[in-house]
Amino acid sequence: MKKDSYIISDILKQRVLVLDGAMGTMIQKLKFNESDYRGNRFKNYNKPLKGNNDLLSITQPNAIFTIHKEYLEAGADIIETNTFSSTSIGMADYGMESLVYELNFESAKLAKRAAKEFTLDNKPRFVAGSIGPTNKTASMSPDVNNPGYREVTFDDLVKSYSEQIEALIEGGVDILLVETVFDTLNAKAALFAIEKYNDKNSANVPIMLSGTLTDASGRTLSGQTLEAFMTSVSHINLLSIGLNCSFGAEGLYPYIKKMSMITEIPISVFPNAGLPNQFGEYDQTSQQMQNLIKDFLENNLVNIIGGCCGTTPDHIRLIAEIVDNYPIRKIN
| Residue 128 is assigned to a structural domain of this protein | yes
71 is a domain residue: yes
Amino acid at 12: L
Domain contains 332: no
Q: Is residue 50 domain-resident?
A: yes
Distance between CA 56 and CA 187 in Å, rounded?
Answer: 25
Going through the chain in order, the beta strands assigned E by DSSP cover 17-18, 78-80, 126-131, 175-181, 207-211, 240-248, 267-272, 304-305
Show the domain range for 230: 3-325
Counting residues of the chain whose pLDDT is more than 70, the rounded percentage is 98
How confident is the model at residue 219, as a pLDDT? Answer: 86
| Domain count of the fold of the chain | 1
pLDDT bin (cut points 50, 70, 90) of residue 222 is confident
Looking at residue 131, which CATH number applies to its domain? Answer: 3.20.20.330
The confidence score (pLDDT) of residue 139 equals 74
Confidence of residue 146 (pLDDT cuts 50, 70, 90): confident
Backbone φ, ψ for residue 92 (5° rounding):
-60, -35
- Show the 3-state SS of 222-276: CCCEHHHHHHHCCCCCCCEEEEEEEEEHHHHHHHHHHHHHHCCCCEEEEEECCCE
Residue at 331 is within a domain: no
pLDDT of residue 2: 36
State mean pLDDT over 44-66. 98
Domain-embedded: residue 298: yes
Instruction: Give yes or no for residue 3 having a pLDDT over 80.
Output: no
Looking at every residue in the chain, the average pLDDT score rounds to 93
Question: Which range, of 6-20, 173-187, 211-225, 315-329, averages the lowest pLDDT?
Answer: 211-225
Q: Give pLDDT tens digits for 288-329.
A: 999 999 999 999 999 999 999 999 999 999 999 999 999 889
pLDDT at 6: 64
pTM above 0.75, yes or no: yes
Confidence (pLDDT) at 321: 97
Q: What is the pLDDT of residue 254?
A: 96
Query: Does residue 193 belong to any structural domain of this protein?
Result: yes
What is the spatial distance between Cα 124 and Cα 115, in angstroms, rounded to a whole number? 8
pLDDT digit string, tens, across residues 151-191: 889 999 999 999 999 999 999 999 999 999 999 999 999 99
Whether 330 maps to a domain, the answer reads no
